[in-house]
Structure 1
């Protein structure tokens, strides 16, 4: 007897699970299958209720009178796929405190039990059932020699065409498919079966003689039907399974008139292959460069597809970067008129840091209407500006090299599309201050009711270098009129920076009241810290007096206030220790929560402990707690918190170099398993540098531990299927730390 109320699935207690499985024996079984996929196999996850459901599902699959036999087999096949993907080792959707090793062992034992139970159905008289059992058997690799014997027996005796096609992949996955088998299939003259065998052999990396040749030869007639959903889908699945082993197949398909694959499909396939295989990046860049000229002849959609694929490949293209830029410039020399071609070319040239990006960009922004342009990794699309510079955050592209061109393009935007001035001004605020930049922002701000983001950029430029505002510019600032309270906040700030506010303290008090709902108040604190006043210190203390804020933006604000106080606060009243103690309760609680912005919080906590050494023991105790028992977030153990705590403990000398290295490597390995390496790897790289500086003898241990990540052909450091940029950057950080 099972207490289903004590078991969990995606939506909580699993009381409904036995009833849903019972409905597989009734006429409305398709709806029950859909509900079971949503609950016990939600998005490929497994739960305690999933394991308990396995014998019941297997029972339905064996019941020849159950209308939902196929549905039960579909669920069991998806369960095998989930186990193969590592879902039983992912704590994200399991109850807190689950013993992962024990749960994984139970999940795999459940899969082995399913295999033993379903194995006799390989000879079921219903060919549809045999097809479904063959599909399930793809995941029975750990279920003993009986499975191998049954599959080989099916290869000899299966006569149904659809079932023979379905049998090829499990044979390949179990390493049972051989070159003589391919010869036998050739003699039998069943192209559909031979194609499935060749496809499966390549997908599973068997390296069988003749498999690639058969696959390419039969591609035009068979690829649309196997594995299903069309020719391009067949190619994408092959690449996802085979990785770099698909490279020669893709070359053959792309270079010869052997298929109906469009230029767009070939370009996307090259991009996908490079996103999966590190070794394929440079060959993909070379192939796409060669594909660009015929794409132009085929029209704008084909050209855009190749440019987008080059944008995807670009971060790992290595020495092919200049050749990519040259090929794109060659496209522009043909004076294309399609706006999306021009916009995508501009984004690709910007990513390559080629100043000619501004030529197509100026043409694009002259015309009305915004475009949806490819950003790069992951197939994301956005407006032109976001596509150029990337999304805010650590992966935003550098812009300082493009100051002159950005100013020129932004000036055109401000003139033609003043409603788009705000986002462009925000990016301009990050450029090195110059007279030209200040003048551009002033002209934009002089138009009636300026966007507050233009005035914010103006204040940022003034904070960076007040000398870029000559006397006439300062006069122009004095004549500006803000259109709303948010604009007034930044305009007064700019005037104060330029010395036009006789009483900065009073000016700050005035704008601080207006700024309560203004974005960027943390920037306000950092800018006004250049003109410290008692009023600013009072505001910072008040921000830290009410505990930890709920929102991420307000926590950034609290950390900016804490940093200002630790810098001295601009007042002669109070000691450094006094300011550290004012900061301490909020920062310590924020760190204890281990919530974002965690990296900045730990950095400020380190400063507090260094400022007042009486607080150091409490801080070290908290760091040990973060690094030891750790914390959890939405996705399970908080590996970033562990790594950041280890980094600080090493810096304070509270961990030895070898202790810190081992703990950081363990956090990294755990993060990679759940595809969360992005936040942990930069911390690990810094820990590596510190640890190896203290003890160079640890290098062999670090190299051995990281070899599976750095030497793998798969992009093991990426958090997404197409994260070339992330994987390339993180691998670079680790290699540099090891050097």
Structure 2
């Protein structure tokens, strides 16, 4: 394992107690993950950057999450919360990616967590043999040889166990980040504006924790003066669905040259009081969050979706629809 200095042992405490070789990521056993996590604490900037790139490529490969993903989350949470460590904003951005995948899949409505959990339970309760029988019937109903070959290919691509493993890994990573929210909440008041921005961005995706996060985010709207941090907190409030009075919008964001801040100054959050939850009148989001997107996507397509989406929905015909009946590439829990 990577040698680490005494000041960072708290963030990496317990790293050696995890059986990383028994966990997997995109390239097989995850026994390289502890070394990469240790490298994130290095004083060497290039070493940290390379480690972050590798983690985006193995425990978050093209948006997929794996059994090793959730195991890495508690260490990343501690790193983000430790003011003695460098690149804490990068850890926060990685945590958000591990929790939700690519954020554009969930905009502008935010995370529909009830639907997400229900979809996973629905797949878990399905009978693989019954699904296979539906596929067989669908293949037999093909109108010609070309269509039959296409349907046979899609049937052969379906793997119920792999689908369930992928869905469990995604939701497991999400819940692992959610468990770290108590440690991340104080970062909304951090002295580093990039850390404040990253903390607001992470919190935006956890409606089940809105009772703890919304009051602090609303307070930031009155206190924050850094444009990117303010814009991110404002959008986070909208995504979490605040039902209180509108905050003071005269926080300087209208005077900012930041694209994200100008967007937030001119539009209401997605679920503003007076509109029904889930209404279609939400404003279009900006092309990116106020902070720069950190994921090094040169390893694959920029919009590949998650492993479960590719492995199940893309391989699922409309009749035997094991992905919550959608028959599409879009997750049923995205709005």
Output the TM-score relative to the length of structure 2: 0.58
2:328 corresponds, among 718, 726, 729, to 718
Q: What are structure 1's unaligned runs of at least 5 residues?
A: 210-214, 230-634, 637-670, 686-707, 710-715, 722-739
In the alignment, structure 2 segments of 5+ residues that lack a partner are 1-16, 103-110, 125-157, 276-282, 293-306
From 299, 308, 314, the equivalent of 1:676 is 314
- Counterpart position of 2:55: 36
User: Structure 2 matches for 1:502-581, cutoff 5 A?
Assistant: none
Aligned counterpart, 1:122: 188
Distance 1:93-1:135 versus aligned 2 partners, 3 A rule: farther
Distance 1:156 1:44 in 2: 35
Q: Confirm whether residue 9 of structure 1 aligns to residue 25 of structure 2.
A: yes
2:197 is aligned with 1:131: yes
1:190 partner SS: helix
Counterpart of 1:517 in structure 2 is none
- The equivalent of 2:219 in structure 1 is 153
Tell me which stretches of 4 or more aligned residues in structure 1 moved more than 4 Å.
83-105, 186-189, 197-200, 223-229
- Is this contact kept in 2: 1:116–1:143, CA < 8 A? no
Distance 1:673 1:95 in 2: 11
Q: Could you say if the C-alpha distance between residues 173 and 208 of structure 1 is closer, same or farther in structure 2, counting changes exceeding 3 Å?
A: same
C-alpha distance in structure 1 between counterparts of 2:330 and 2:211, whole Å: 36
Q: CA deviation at 1:29?
A: 0.9
3-state SS of the aligned residue for 1:139?
Answer: coil
Q: Distance in 2 between matches of 1:684 and 1:102?
A: 21
Tell whether the 8 Å contact from 1:111 to 1:140 is kept in structure 2 after alignment. Answer: no
Cα deviation, residue 116, structure 1: 1.8
Question: Match for 1:24 among 30, 37, 40?
Answer: 40
Residues 119-142 of structure 1: CA deviation (Å, up to 9, x unaligned)? 111111111110111111111212
Partner deviation per Cα, 1:684-734 (whole Å, 9 max, x = no partner): 59xxxxxxxxxxxxxxxxxxxxxx96xxxxxx543479xxxxxxxxxxxxx
Structure 2 residue aligned with 1:169: 235
Q: Using a 3 Å threshold, how does the CA distance of structure 1 residues 53 and 146 change in structure 2: closer, same or farther?
A: same
Cα deviation 1:184-229 (Å, max 9, x = unaligned): 315857244463254562xx354769xxxxx89xx9xxx7997589
Query: Whole-Å Cα distance in 1 between the matches of residues 182 and 208 of structure 2?
Result: 11
Cα 1:161/1:141, change in 2 over 3 Å = same
More helix by share: 1
Tell me: CA distance 1:123–1:18, structure 2 relative to 1, closer, same or farther (3 Å): same
Aligned equivalent of 2:9: none
Q: Is the 8 A contact 2:232 2:289 kept in 1?
A: no
State the distance in 2 between where 1:157 and 1:122 align: 11
Task: Specify the alignment match of 2:139 in structure 1.
Answer: none
**2:199 aligned with 1:180:** no
Matching residue of 1:324: none
Q: Which has the larger radius of gyration?
A: 1
- In structure 2, what is the Cα distance between the partners aligned to 1:148 and 1:30? 32
8 Å CA contact retained: 2:99, 2:170? no
**How many residues are paired up?**
241
The alpha carbon displacement at 1:676 in A equals: 2.8
Is the partner of 1:65 in helix, strand or coil?
Answer: coil
The correspondence of residues 330-369 of structure 1 with structure 2, limited to 5 A, is none
Instruction: Give the secondary-structure state (helix, strand or coil) at the position aligned to 1:185.
Output: coil
Query: What is the Cα deviation at residue 99 of structure 1?
Result: 6.0
Verify the 8 A CA contact 1:20 1:32 in the aligned structure 2: yes
Q: Does 1:111 align with 2:127?
A: no
RMSD: 4.4
